[in-house]
Amino acid sequence: RTTAIKMAALSAQTALSGVAVAARVQKAQAKRNVVTRAGKYDDELLETATKMTMPGKGILAMDESNATCGSRLEGVGVENIEENRRRYRELLITTPNLGDHIGGAILFEETLYQSCSDGTSFVD
């Protein structure tokens, strides 16, 4: 239970820093236009990028290396093992209403192969 409380505190801290980053990104986006050429995938690329960067949405950076993620865990007294990193990431991606505020996520390679406790892939 103590581990869950510590991980929840870490999650809240991470979420708040993510909100600040999203606000800076949104402000920066308002100042420039981007021209993209992707050939036959122009429409799909534009649609995807538009959905990911809608006003009020940011990109969740979950691309921390095992060492960096482990430093965060160890900072709150949680052992840096794969299961604890998985549980930390699960805590992030199962945040209620996350999709209302996040348009996409950047993942570390280990995360691509991890799943929630119910078996749902993190990628799904």
Classify burial at 68, counting beta carbons within 10 Å of its beta carbon; exposed 0-12, middle 13-18, buried 19 or more: exposed
Q: Pick the closest to residue 28 from 5, 6, 59 (CA basis).
A: 59
pLDDT digits (tens, 9 = 90+) for 57-114: 999 999 999 999 999 999 999 999 999 999 999 999 999 999 999 999 999 999 999 9
- Cα separation, 107 vs 102, whole angstroms: 14
Q: What is the pLDDT of residues 38-57, one digit of tens each?
A: 678 888 988 988 888 899 99
Placement of tokens 């949405």 in the chain: 57
Residue 87: both structure tokens together: 């549980």
In the chain, where the domains are located: 2-112
